[in-house]
Structure 1
Amino acid sequence: MKPDLRTALKERPLVGDGAMGTYLYQLGFPVGVSYEEFNLLKPNVIADVHSRYVKAGAQVIETNTFSAQRGKLSKYGLEHKTEEIKAAGVSIARQAAGDNAYVVGAIGANRAGRRRNLRTSSIKRDFEEQIGALLAANPDGLLLETFFDFEEMSMALALIRKRSDLPVICQFAVENAARTADGVPLADAFARLKDEGADVIGFNCRSGPNAILRAMETIPADLGAPLSVFPNAGIPDYVDGEVIYSASPEYFAASAIRFADLGSRLIGGCCGTTPEHIAAIAGALKTYIPGAAASAPAAAPAARPVLTAEPAEPPVSGGTGEQEPSLVELVRRRHTVIVELDPPRDLDIKRFMQGAQALKDAGADAVTMADNSLAVTRMSNMALGALVKETVGIRPLIHIACRDRNLIGTQSHMMGLDALGIDHVLAVTGDPAKFGDLPGSSSVYDLTSFEIIRMIKQLNEGVAFSGKPLKQKAKFIVGAAFNPNVKYLEKAIERLERKIASGADYIMTQPVYDPALIERIAESTRHLSVPIFIGIMPLASGRNAEYLHNEVPGIQLSDEVRRRMSGLEGPAGRAEGVAIARELLDAAMEHFNGIYLITPFLSYEMSVALTEYVIRNGARAARTK
């Protein structure tokens, strides 16, 4: 007979299960339905998912009741079946778990990050109903997961403690932050929840292993309560209408050891994870010895030179005059540099503007700004583009995402850019809103990336999106994004050809970290009629390298680059990152005139040094021709 859950958590780290909803989606079940209703309609399907996780090594199974609340089920006309759904959820999980795993009743947040006005009385009622139904089904514990607000978490925990002494696991959803969504520092939130009766406290969803590891580092080691972590399988990518996660099982195995060393005693997976991820975690923890990593002597990283900028030849600046040639014209003549600077996530634009000026002085031809990349809210790139154009005097290149604006808003936005004299744009699909920092917001996607290119070029013909003639024509130069970091490059190029057929004037690639791949891209795209700007992003540290490789869609680092960056942090990491970027630039400049530098963490000094490197070497190459 296995010990109770509290005792088991004290003995050694336990393996949790993985995703339910996204795994059902991967298995072919459609979105837009209540997966919780499957407890009644398709109990064998839910039992099979639970069984797969148990077979993979999961020792704690969550019931399929995350959204089984009256308010959420009412969306599907199922509010009258809440108790039946929850009771069935525990029963199905119990049968699948047998004697091999514990069963915890899953309870999701009502607010779920939404800022809409929900009455406390309504939230309390839904929690009471859900808690009562789950307790009546006799789980081994309860799991409060994906909570954004401390206030709501505290309320749910108090309602449980009024009725039961069962173990309670409390998990917040955070993203690169040291506070809950309602402003409570995480360290304070954890301490208060422990005092209020939480047995295990931790994180799930919203972030991959890297961000959760950073959040865990804000929690005091002497908290006095075990931690739990259920990260997503990296940042999701949205490709041809499908959501895809990229973090591998091997990455989760390595992360599991790091989580355990930081005090995690329950380690599983959330969105995008599968039985393969859980099997990897179970394998990594099977022989885990607490503190083994900490007691082993650490290998000292190789000494790296501190970054120093070489003296540059006089830069060739783009300027923004009316008669200035477009980037497409410039890149056909010489090496041309576009540099991406992320708009700030707050109201302070001082460093951003300093970076734009430094890049102008270094000789960059344009500064490009993403449109709330990764669905994280940032300052308007239209406003910043206008400021950069007016005060710095460098060409702005504005990203336009399909995610945030409907047809009306997109045409209005483009008309505004035209009025401001901003004529270079990059059309992108945009990451789904539910995976960003405001998951309660909606993704629009009235247009695909192909359609938005066609519609913008239609404005150049003096025709509105509606087909109505306009009194004058726009003059947009439209770029398209290209991800060459794929298994089948030929298929990616076929997709690229469709974008060019839709009207794309130039191409900007995702970051490339392999000289051999750069050569393959050159060979495979020689037939294309538009210029390509090869993406190069300097790495800031070893941790940054692993995060990009494992969690960010569209980015793949070579084994050699990962080896060189391993263990490097601070100035040494940035210096090696710039050194690697220079080597990649050498390879890129042999085949392409277009260079697209991507600035990490607004560390524009790195991009300045690389811009000067391109200008200097491009000038030398021109003199030798």
Structure 2
Amino acid sequence: MTTGKKDLREYLQDHLLVGDGAMATQLHRLGVPLGVSFEELSLSNPKLVQEVHDSYYAAGARLLETNTYSANRDSLSRYGLEHRVARINRLAVKIARESARDDAYVAGSIGSILAGRVRKKVLDEYRDQYEEQAIALLHAGVDGIILETFLDLEELLMALEVIRPLTDAPLIAQLATLEVGRTRDGYSLTDAFGQLKQAGADIVGLNCRLGPAEILRSFEHTQVPHGALLSAFPNAGRLGLTDGEYAYKSTPDYFGQSALRLREQGIRLIGGCCGTTPEHVKAMADALESLEPQERINPTIVPGDRPQVTVQSVRDQSKPSIVERVKTETTVIVEFDPPRDLDAESFLDGCCELHRAGADAITLADNSLATVRMSNMALGALMKSRHGIDPLLHIACRDRNLIGQQSHLMGLHALGIDQILVITGDPSRFGDLPGATSVFDVTSFDLIRMVKQLNEGVSFAGRPLKQKAQFIVGAAFNPNVRQMDAAIARLEKKVEAGADYIMTQPVYDAESIKQVYEATKHIGIPVFIGIMPLTSLRNAEFLHNEVPGIKLSSEALERMRAVEQGEAARQEGIKMAKELLDTAVQYFKGIYLITPFHYSSMAAELVQYVRQQSALVKTATH
């Protein structure tokens, strides 16, 4: 297939065009190990990069992508190459141009900076990086820019907004979807393609993540804007483990057949992504040889074609949530840690004692201090089903990857457990299994946002769900810091992410309670002030000197030194906690009591005391 080197947009009006296949796959086949910067090879081994381009050209590709997919400042900084952005991009264009001869197009490849990661920064921070890379590619003389493998429409739109004013050259905008027909950030492809064309994309399409069959299905169910040029660069199927090695399954023959099916959808630029080789490209080029493009005929979308989100409540609506309750009355959350052994009954007995004392919800930590405890999900289900007690579960970012986190949350939804507290979690190496791995796929900010996405009826991957979750999401706040302004700024970000309420670390003096009130009264969501009674001098010294996020006052330490150990110390701890509660109920309607060492009777006494004091405050104000 020859191009005649018209403008790419003009050429695609009347012709099919075969793109190349995977650069990294071929470089790896040629001996380049994983874990290095493939883009850097344009500097250190340009002949090897050109060998890949030559192999795709010989196979029939007439659009070659530069070896610059991750040649942005963010990605190159992992290899100490952030100062080489312009040079790497310019040389990559030169290498591709030599292979393209006079009848093939060279497209400057720009990949997503997020690159599959969860968004942790404001996208605007990437603007300069996209501009830097695009300018280098355009100055080096590419025939167009291909923006590829964007999971989030919002990032791709931002990249277009940056690059479109820089050039009149063709811009190809390709999304990668985790689910057929919808982006990770929840947009349908019909909506996404419309927005991309309006933002200045000349060619819109899909690449990566999915194989030919699923990309074909995506187009079959999408309304494409009138007159839009389409592209498709599927993976060679799904990556799987075969004979001890990871490999892609799709054969070149299958790709040749798939190219014909993609043509029937009106797609004019067809290439390959991960796992594809010159053999795959040759099969497509042979299949499409001498064929003309077909006009796009959009499918007729009728009601029922797409999943419908319906709100079905599994929550007992007769019981108000803690957020609803705290708006009108003093509300008490009591933390009671799951057991470190297999005995659940004594734990449940303690929960019942706290419930009878008047606790509005009992909160269960998620392997606090990275110490293994019984599953709070299982215990929460038992509390709810056997005893009608509202559980409030902590969810740590530490122990589950994104797959596990969404699965866990879906399970909580099925159980009707919708009150949660999202926390970062203590590092595994400091717990009782120091060889365990800390996952931390996401931060607490990210997880709060993603839980709220489930509340909109959209999965982490952007797939519409048949129900909307109803999670009430809490966030943690540590007031025991030197820089309160920085802590408040962090707290405000959690509120911005969607937190519905705040639970603080325990405080141990009345002045700190007042300071927390003054520092947080502007945030607009309920704050539950943390109070944890001390049990002994040793307990006090341990908390003060060894536990992150806890700081005792000098007075508290002195008072524990002045009493004998055992029951006398516990009574002093209760007395001190009651004094703090006297102040707390004047400033906060939300009280968060932390039970020490499974002493449920201590916490139960404090719950009853809160009820008495809040009644007195209420009477005094009337």
- TM-score, normalised to structure 1, is 0.49
